[in-house]
C-alpha cells in the first residue's frame, strides 16, 4: 500500500535466527536516507530500537504494527518522551469518532469509571460478532457449525469505529485507525476504511 501511494521502500531487514544487530542495521538505513521505519516487531523490539536511535541521535518517523502502541502504554502509562510521536495502527482511541455501537461502548466506559482500551474494544466487538451470528442461527440448530458458518458470513456489522466483515477464511475486515503517542496517551490521527 505504501508504494501504491508513491512511497519508496529503501530496504527490508529480516530477523534471522540470531536476531537483529539494531545498531548496524539502523546505521545502514540512515545512510540510505530512510525517513520512515515501519517496525513489524513487538513492543520489546520497538523499545530497543528507540533506545538505539536515541544513542545515534537519529529521529526518523516510526510506524508500528497494530496493537504495539497499546502494549507500550500498558507497560508504563506515564509520559515517556522517547515514545512520543510514534505512529501505529490500532482499532481504537478515546477521541476517535464512533458509530452508534461505539457510543454504547463509551457508555460502558462511563459506567466502569475509567478509560477502556484497545483490548476491551476487541472483546466488545467480538461479542457483537458472536451475538449477531447466534441470532442468525435462531430457529435453526444452534450448534457450533451454524455459529461458525454464521460468523464467517458477517457482513457490514457496525463495530465501534465502522463496519466489520469476516471473510471466508475467518479474517476480519475493518477500518484501520492510525494513532500516535503524545505525552503518554494515544491520540487519534486518521481512520482508513
pLDDT digit string (tens) for the chain, length 193 residues: 677 778 888 888 888 778 889 999 999 999 999 999 999 998 889 999 999 999 999 999 999 988 888 888 877 655 567 788 999 988 877 778 888 988 888 888 778 776 667 778 888 999 999 999 999 998 887 788 999 999 999 999 999 989 999 988 888 888 888 999 888 788 889 888 7
3-state secondary structure of 171: coil
pLDDT of residue 78: 58
Strand order, beta sheet including 36-39: 36-39, 61-64, 87-90, 176-182, 185-192
Name the phi and psi angles at 158, rounded to 5.
-75, 115
Is the separation of the CB atoms in 181 and 72 below 8 Å?
yes
3-state secondary structure of 172: strand
The H or E element that residue 117 is part of is none
Name the phi and psi angles at 126, rounded to 5.
-60, -40
Q: What cell was used for 64?
A: 508500528
Going by their DSSP bridges, the two strands 36-39 and 172-173 should be labelled as unpaired
What angle, rounded to 10 degrees, do the helices at 43-56 and 22-31 form?
A: 60
State the Rg of the chain over Cα. 20
Is the separation of the CB atoms in 66 and 90 below 8 Å?
yes
Contacts 24+ apart (CB under 8 A), 9-14: 10/34
Predicted TM-score (pTM) of the model is 0.71
Is the separation of the CB atoms in 164 and 172 below 8 Å?
yes
pLDDT of residue 64: 94
Amino acid at each position: 500500500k505504501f508504494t501504491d501511494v508513491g512511497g519508496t521502500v529503501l530496504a527490508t531487514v529480516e530477523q534471522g535466527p540470531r536476531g537483529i544487530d539494531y545498531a548496524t542495521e539502523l546505521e545502514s538505513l540512515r545512510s540510505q536516507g530512510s525517513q520512515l521505519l515501519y517496525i513489524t516487531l513487538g513492543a520489546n523490539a520497538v523499545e530497543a530500537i528507540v533506545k538505539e536511535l536515541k544513542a545515534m541521535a537519529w529521529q526518523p518517523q516510526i510506524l508500528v504494527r497494530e496493537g504495539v502502541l497499546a502494549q507500550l502504554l500498558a507497560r508504563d502509562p506515564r509520559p515517556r518522551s522517547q515514545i512520543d510521536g510514534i505512529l501505529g495502527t490500532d482499532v481504537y482511541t478515546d477521541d476517535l469518532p464512533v458509530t452508534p455501537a461505539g457510543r454504547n461502548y463509551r457508555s460502558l466506559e462511563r459506567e466502569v469509571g475509567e478509560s477502556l482500551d484497545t483490548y476491551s474494544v476487541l472483546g466488545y466487538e467480538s461479542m457483537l460478532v458472536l451475538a449477531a451470528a447466534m441470532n442468525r442461527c435462531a430457529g435453526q440448530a444452534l450448534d457450533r457449525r451454524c455459529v461458525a458458518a454464521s460468523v464467517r458470513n458477517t457482513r457490514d456489522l457496525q463495530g465501534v469505529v465502522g463496519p466489520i466483515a469476516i471473510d471466508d477464511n475467518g479474517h476480519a475486515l475493518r477500518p484501520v485507525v492510525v494513532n500516535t503517542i503524545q505525552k503518554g496517551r494515544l491520540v487519534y490521527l486518521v481512520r482508513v476504511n
